[in-house]
Structure 1
Amino acid sequence: MFLELNELLNASPERPEQGKLTLLCDTKTDGSFLVHHFLSFYLKAGCKVCFVALLQSFSHYNIIAQKLGVSLTAAKERGQLVFLEGLKSCFDVLFGEEQHVRQTSPLRFVSEDGSNLKTMYEFVRTSLMASGSDSWKCPVLLMDDLSVLLSLGVRPVDVLDFIHYCRVAVCSQLKGNIVVLVHSNDDSEDEANELVVNSLCHQSNLILWAEGLATGFCKDVHGQLKIIQKGSSELKAERTLLRIYQYKIQDKNVTFFARGMSAAVL
């Protein structure tokens, strides 16, 4: 996890919040560093994590997690991490020979009409249900990334229904958290993707939006991050707070600074 980002969010693995939906977005840049942050953050916090990884392989996430001081292999072995490798699951569903695997796979919808995400929802719910031997803190659903579902032919309304049911199960019933990444492009004609992004923006408690620089590539400033924190609906006096920082990604860390205040610029 990135300590500077924790400070900006006033977050600590010793006291993780509960019942929150966090939306990660990126536009004209790669926001995957945010996924790696939250994955390592919640594992270090002692939370039970269900990671639906639709974009990369387990080894990819594990290599980066090790740089951040977390072993995904060890987390899986001790039952703290449930990892769904989307690439492998899609291959098994489409080309696997075992009928049982195709019928029970959480990604069974890829061989159907793409409208029924019930098996994936059941996978998430059962993965995060506490057993008698569990001593983990609040459960967490982490998804990278939701845009892949649209690419696989899932309708926006079904994606949003899936997130709604996950919020009820994880945030409301289990008092846990959900973190999802969605790609966005203001210039895109992909109306389905933008519908999902806009809908999730309204539902989220926290939005982290990574954007590329309007001036183009810079080796010392890799992008800017919008942090949008919404006030509690119970406390109407609390307003939505918007902060914008620029950042530079390093091998094992990300540094943040106010716009135009990079040491390289000054």
Structure 2
Amino acid sequence: MFEELSQYLGWTNCFPEGESFLVIAEGTDCGFILQHFIHTFLKRKLPVCLVSTSQTFSHYSQAGIKIGANLDKAREEKSIHLVDLMSKFLNHYTGQIECDWNAKNIYLSIKEELDSMEISANSILIVDDISVLSSLCLSIDDIGNLLHYLHALSKQRGFNILMSIPSLDCEQVQDTQSIAEHYADTVLCVKSLQTGYSKEVHGQIEVVKGGRSNCGVRQYKLSDKNLHLFARGTSMAVL
């Protein structure tokens, strides 16, 4: 999909196996990162389990069409599996269903879907927005337990895991982010430009491994089918 992003992540010669990724979005949308992971793993014929908390599968399907990915077909072929927590959350809050939301129940619903898949060492579990958990009346301890269970399962079975969270001025979301960072092998920080909107530069991204920047900060320009990365100050707008 986005070849320059794969290179930036170091996937050219070494594809991830049993790694934990966290995407932190500050003032911008990180959906293109999630789409990149989904499309890249499916293209390699590796199973994907998508846990949707903030977007519908239709949203991902429509976004996938722009980059040539047929997620509806992939779902029919059981290449991608869906745990639709968002619909369950909405049905619960509108009174259509009664459900006791806690870390154990959410974990079991995800594990049940994973158990139905042919999990390999290079498979991936994607949770699209873990900040939603803090709005479900889950305590920070419950959220911590859920993330612990999922990462423990990931290490036990050897699959990759990707979570994303927006950087918000909210204590519980910030606490959730801190817990997620503790478990992450690689953190992708995606930020909007402090100088505001630019036609040539849409934001910046930094990959952090082991608390250290992997290859420095890169700015990016995003189009429907391409992502161009470049060092700060080297875009066409300033050259």
If the length of structure 2 is used for normalisation, what is the TM-score? 0.90
Q: Which residue identity lines up with residue 151 of structure 1 in the other structure?
A: S
Residues 36-75 of structure 1 aligned to structure 2 (within 5 Å): 36-75=35-74
CA shift, 1:139, in A, is 2.9
Matched, 1:123 2:109: yes
Q: Which residue identity lines up with residue 11 of structure 2 in the other structure?
A: A
- Asked if 2 retains the 8 angstrom alpha-carbon contact of 1:46 and 1:137, the reply is no
Q: Which residue identity lines up with residue 221 of structure 2 in the other structure?
A: K
Q: What is the distance in 2 between the residues matched to 1:197 and 1:124? A: 20
Aligned to 1:76: 75
Cα deviation per residue 1:96-138 (whole Å; 9 max; x = unaligned)? 65xxxx46xxxx3xxx4x4x1222211222222366xx48663
CA shift, 1:140, in A, is 1.5
- Asked if 2 retains the 8 angstrom alpha-carbon contact of 1:184 and 1:194, the reply is yes
Q: Which residue identity lines up with residue 223 of structure 1 in the other structure?
A: G
In the alignment, structure 1 segments of 5+ residues that lack a partner are 232-238
3-state DSSP of counterpart to 2:163: strand
- Asked if 2 retains the 8 angstrom alpha-carbon contact of 1:139 and 1:174, the reply is no
Matched, 1:181 2:164: yes
CA shift, 1:259, in A, is 0.3
CA shift, 1:207, in A, is 0.6
Matched, 1:208 2:188: yes
Aligned to 2:153: 169
RMSD: 2.2
CA shift, 1:153, in A, is 2.1
Matched, 1:244 2:217: yes
Matched, 1:194 2:174: yes
Structure with larger RCO (C-alpha < 8 A, sep 6+): 2
Cα deviation per residue 1:132-164 (whole Å; 9 max; x = unaligned)? xx4866331101100111122222221121111
In the alignment, structure 2 segments of 5+ residues that lack a partner are none
Aligned to 2:226: 253
Residues 7-156 of structure 1 aligned to structure 2 (within 5 Å): 7-12=7-12, 16-95=15-94, 102=97, 108=99, 112=100, 114=101, 116-129=102-115, 134=118, 138-156=122-140
Q: What is the distance in 2 between the residues matched to 1:20 and 1:135? A: 14
3-state DSSP of counterpart to 1:138: coil
Q: Which residue identity lines up with residue 23 of structure 2 in the other structure?
A: L
Q: Which residue identity lines up with residue 64 of structure 2 in the other structure?
A: A
If the length of structure 1 is used for normalisation, what is the TM-score? 0.82
Q: Percent identity?
A: 31
CA shift, 1:35, in A, is 1.1
Q: Which residue identity lines up with residue 3 of structure 2 in the other structure?
A: L
Q: What is the distance in 1 between the residues matched to 2:225 and 2:213? A: 31
Q: What is the distance in 2 between the residues matched to 1:68 and 1:16? A: 21
Q: Which residue identity lines up with residue 203 of structure 2 in the other structure?
A: G
- Asked if 1 retains the 8 angstrom alpha-carbon contact of 2:35 and 2:64, the reply is yes
Tell me the matched-pair count. Answer: 239
Aligned to 1:236: none
Q: What is the distance in 1 between the residues matched to 2:159 and 2:120? A: 11
Larger radius of gyration: 1
Q: What is the distance in 2 between the residues matched to 1:92 and 1:215? A: 41
Q: What is the distance in 2 between the residues matched to 1:93 and 1:217? A: 38
